[in-house]
Structure 1
Amino acid sequence: MLLAVDAGNTNVVFALVKESEIVARWRIATDPRRTGDEYAVWLHNLMALQGFDPGDVEAVIISTVVPRALHNLQVLASKYFDVEPLVAGEAPVEWGIALDIDEPTSLGADRAINVIAAHALHPEDLIIIDFGTATTFDVADYKGAYKGGVIAPGINLSLDALVGAAAKLPRIAIEAPRDNSVIGTNTEDQMHIGVYWGYIAMIEGLVERTRAEIGRPAKVVSTGGLASLFDEHTDIFDIIEPDLTIQGLAMLYQRSR
């Protein structure tokens, strides 16, 4: 089995992949100080609870946008799984796609991987929206080349900033407003409307402008935990791929073989 590790700014996702199928996944809060030993205790226990043996892991591939977390994840792979981990974007698992942007080395690993996976699954012009710590919009052409994109504050970041800067505003859950109204009659309803419908308006507006700039029809692929929440009240997404990054890591690993 392959252990695919996606270290994001908020969470680290560990997934077991067997013959291109994701058979288990776990997540833990990102903390660059967490050691390989700590990861091992946590992960081995979870694997045992679901009946997996660490000895069945034959390879490890890591993607990270948190450079300080990489070393401890490499220690986890070499010390506790007895394999030399592959690092996405580094030999022998380079991206293998054209990066038609000003600073290719600045592109986050997760975004490159999402483009690789989305193009493999949907080989056409694409707009890929990833709802993470930041909400990113990535554009890939029908040849699979990365053309650029947009970085916007994630909805949780936006809400944290709003609540943190306004002393009387309460913490609210991220959910659709009641009755789909856009006119709130109390503080909490007004916050729900501003956060939820405001975010949908941003998504729809940016997709519309992006499609106009591309000049050709483009399929919208969404991923990330909040994609399904927004999908309830907009038809802007053509398809949701909840495990896009893990799928991309598995594809990179297969390519390296």
Structure 2
Amino acid sequence: MTNTPAIPTSVLTLASEAQRVTVLTGAGMSAESGVPTFRDAQTGLWARYDATALATPEAWERDPALVWSWYMWRHHLVRQTEPNAGHKALGGWETTASVTVVTQNIDDLHERGGSSRVHHLHGSLFAFRCSRCSRPYTQPVDDTPPHDTPRKPPACDECAGPVRPGVVWFGEMLPNSPWEASVRAVQDCDLLLVVGTSSLVYPAAGLPRIAQDRGIPIVEVNTEETPLSTQCTACLRIPAASALPRLADMHVT
């Protein structure tokens, strides 16, 4: 059995003393629950499609049924997964500190893990809106198999326009409210954890710079080195599902 690397005492101390923790998460966090990353999702019946070509406004305009079917497949995949120990640790940490999650992930695993303050920078697979009038769509959606036949998206209750996934596609701006809330969460924290993100996708990758400029400790939790690594207070080459419970457990009342 491989022993899990120890977490330095200095990092455990940061976790135990932090009163306001902000956690920036990326695809690696969800991958530990078995959620395929964006490009890894192009397997099986969807292998013949380019993921970046499906996740665009142009693809939606060209073939909304095809795009809707792809997202219903991903919606179905996420519903079959469960929050891992890292998600649950962040949810439990709220009992002893103010913990805010800023995520690039479009799944709902943080919420299901118990986190109540989650800002989705790239939208959510579980939030839908009309592509014509932008009215939120709250009716149940059908994500049941089979997914290899394009299915028509539901119609908006208000204007009958086609309902689209509430995610940010390539070429679209980030939603203002989650972005502004995320900036405030980083500005106001006394510990920033950056978990499972490549630190390559902007503007999310620029958030740690805000913490750095303010002298806020940054701890990276990632099994691989990233462009952010050299700027961090500490780097834990430990999976999130292992590292986060140990950090959360350090904070006791």
Normalization by structure 1: what TM-score? 0.29
Q: Which has the higher contact order (CA 8 A, sep 6+)?
A: 2
Normalization by structure 2: what TM-score? 0.29
Q: Greater share of strand residues, 1 or 2?
A: 1
